A and B are shown apart, each in its own frame.
Chain A
Amino acid sequence: MTVTADSAAEPATADDRPGVAVRTASAVWVLIAGVLGLAAALTLTVEKIEILINPDYVPSCSINPVLSCGSVMVTPQASAFGFPNPIIGIVSFTVVVVTGVLAIAKVRLPRWYWSGLAVGTLLGVAFIHWLIFQSLYRIGALCPYCMVVWAVTVPLLVVVSSIALQPRLESGVARFVYQWRWSLVTLWFTALILMILVRFWNYWSTLI
């Protein structure tokens, strides 16, 4: 994980073109997150179709009793809005991929565009926390591809909201949160890993 304390946007120096300038590192991050998320969502959708064709199909990610996407994919929570969740992922991560490509190409997108993307990502993060809770404490199994989506969405929110909120990050609490954002992400990952460790300790302890 890269820890950067400096600003996400390049200083608006001599360049007077409208829109938001994005640092290359942030742009690459957005693209990588988009590609990983899209790959995970596509795989999940394909596996879901395979299960529908053949109910005995064992998905490629059913590794052991805990890491088993087969048992997660057939739950009602996996189709929270009446259709399989990864379809949302395919649509949203495609937008993220396109945004990443545009940002790398130095296309200056207006601030409202980044704000919209940040709001969308925030909704995604909220949804993901609900899914994490359901997966850990209601379903009791983990699906590796879903965890890829969990893992890319939270850093994505940090990068995108940093870009969108750049002018408002100069003072007070916002500045503090902004400066410590990667520490907060690290703590989030640590907490998630510990929750998984504790929740499935009965299983992990048999592997030691």
Chain B
Amino acid sequence: MATKPKKTARYDLNAADRRRNLMIQIGLTAIVVLLGVGLVLYIVTSNDKKPTSGEVKSIRVASSKVVNKEGTTEPKAVVSVYEDFLCPHCRDFEQKFGPTINQLVDSGAIAADYYMVAILDSPSTKNYSSRAAGAGYCVGDESTEAFSRFHAALYAQQPGETGASFPDDARLIEVARQAGAGGKVPDCVNKSRYVPMVQGLAQATKISSTPTIKINGEDFAVTEETKPEDLVAKVKSIVGDVPGLMTAPAAPNPTPPGAP
């Protein structure tokens, strides 16, 4: 126990010491706090709600005059299309039915839901299947009009399943740009935002082959003999006659509008 005079002398020494210690303590604490806050904010803002495998999402293409169920905002006829951008049958389907679906959408008879699944991933294509499907969702988030053009463009320039070169992400971003989708698309594609989701999408939607077409949830079988007229007839049986919906659709156009 110190005596009184000694204690006063030591008090002054300690005061300077203590002030310095206090500064070090405040400084270190502030650094740790700022680092923690910065790190968490960075993770939160960059990982913002990345859809995971198992989630189901579609890109809905519909005209503003689409025929709704009475008293609701739900379209009377929803045509769901499950496709893989790398599957040759999907390209055939798009060539044969694409213009008809577009026409049905434009007339307001249907809403088209596109589910872009990735079932043909392989290292030799650098997983083109899931990258293209993921990019499709990125473009669809930005604008459905750009999506229609992007979708058509990817099928028009589809690489063969055994081809030698497959579009990389930069090329996908460029195709999206030409289709009219900029904005967040490059970031979304580069971060593979939808890739985990599209890889699990076939399983999540219980799709065993592509293309699979469903009308209001019911399978619409597409075989060699199925004609676009059959699809129109099926839609007509649900929504009735819609102005602008011709019985005979325009001849399929091998180069969809907007394809470079």
With both beta carbons as reference points, the residue of chain A lying nearest to B25 in the complex is identified as: A183
In this assembly, does B28 line the interface, its C-beta being within 8 Å of a C-beta of chain A?
yes
The B interface, classified by DSSP as helix, strand, loop or mixed, is helix
Once the chains bind, are A194 and B18 in contact (CB under 8 Å)? no
Q: Given A198-B40, A198-B44: A180 and B33 within 8 A (CB)? A: no
Contact indicator B36/A186 (Cβ below 8 Å):
no
Docked pose: A49 CA to B36 CA in angstroms: 41
- Cβ-based interface call for B165 (8 A): no
Task: Please tell me if the beta carbons of A5 and B18 are within 8 angstroms of each other in the complex.
Answer: yes
CB distance from B132 to the nearest CB of A (A): 29
A60 at the interface (CB under 8 A from B): no
Given contacts A3-B22, A6-B18, contact A194 B29 (CB under 8 A): no
- A194: which of B21, B22, B32, B37 is its contact (CB, 8 Å)? B37
Question: Bound state CA distance, A205 and B49, in angstroms?
Answer: 11
Within 8 A of A (CB), among B12-63: 18, 21-22, 25-26, 28-29, 32-33, 36-37, 40-41, 44, 48-49
Chain B residue with the shortest CB-CB distance to A195: B40
Contact of B37 with A190 in the complex, beta carbons under 8 Å: yes
Residues of A within 8 A of B26 (CB): 3
CB neighbours (8 Å) of B37 from chain A are: 190, 194
Task: Report A-chain residues with C-beta under 8 Å of the C-beta of B28.
Answer: 183
A5 to B19, CA, bound (A): 9
Number of interface residues of A (CB under 8 A): 17
Residues of B within 8 A of A202 (CB): 49
* Minimum CB–CB distance for B46 against chain A, Å: 12
Establish whether residues A187 and B32, one from each chain, have CB atoms under 8 Å apart when the complex forms: yes
A180 to B37 CA separation, bound complex (whole angstroms): 20
Check if B33 sits within 8 Å of A186, measured CB to CB.
yes
* Min CB gap A110→B, angstroms: 22
Chain A residue numbers with a CB within 8 Å of B25 are 3, 5, 179-180, 182-183
Secondary structure type dominating chain A contacts = helix
**Shortest beta-carbon distance, B241 to chain A, in Å?**
43
- For the complex formed, measure the closest distance between the CB of A188 and the CB atoms of chain B, giving whole angstroms: 11
Tell me how many residues of B have a C-beta within 8 Å of chain A. 16
B36 touches A194 (CB 8 A): yes
Chain B contacts for A182, CB-based, 8 A: 25, 29
B4 to chain A, nearest CB (A): 8
Residue on B nearest A185 in the bound complex, by CB? B29
Q: Mark A165-205, 1 if CB is under 8 A from B, else 0.
A: 00000000000000110110011001100100110011001
Which interface residue of B25, B37, B41 has the most chain A CB atoms within 10 A? B25
Given A5-B21, A190-B37; A205-B48 close (CB under 8 Å): yes
Q: Chain A 4-25, CB within 8 Å of chain B: the 1/0 string?
A: 0110000000000000000000
Q: Is the CB of A187 within 8 A of B48?
A: no
Say yes or no: A191 contacts B36, CB within 8 Å.
yes
Q: How far is the CA of A186 from the CA of B34 in the complex (A)?
A: 11
Which residues of chain B come closer than 8 Å to A179, judged between CB atoms? 25
A166 to B36, CA, bound (A): 31
Q: B29 contacts A183, CB within 8 Å?
A: yes
Q: For the complex, what is the distance from the CA of A5 to the CA of B29, rounded to whole Å?
A: 14
Q: List residues of chain A with CB under 8 Å of any chain B CB.
A: 3, 5-6, 179-180, 182-183, 186-187, 190-191, 194, 197-198, 201-202, 205
Extra inter-chain contacts (17) besides given A5-B21, A187-B29, A194-B37, CB under 8 Å = A3-B22, A3-B25, A5-B22, A6-B18, A179-B25, A183-B25, A183-B29, A186-B29, A186-B33, A191-B36, A194-B36, A194-B40, A197-B41, A197-B44, A198-B40, A201-B48, A202-B49
19 contacts between A and B (CB under 8 A): A5-B22, A5-B25, A6-B18, A179-B25, A180-B25, A182-B25, A182-B29, A183-B25, A183-B28, A186-B33, A187-B29, A190-B33, A190-B37, A194-B36, A194-B37, A197-B41, A198-B44, A201-B48, A205-B48
8 tightest A-B CB contacts, nearest first: A183-B29, A194-B40, A190-B33, A186-B29, A201-B44, A5-B22, A5-B21, A5-B18
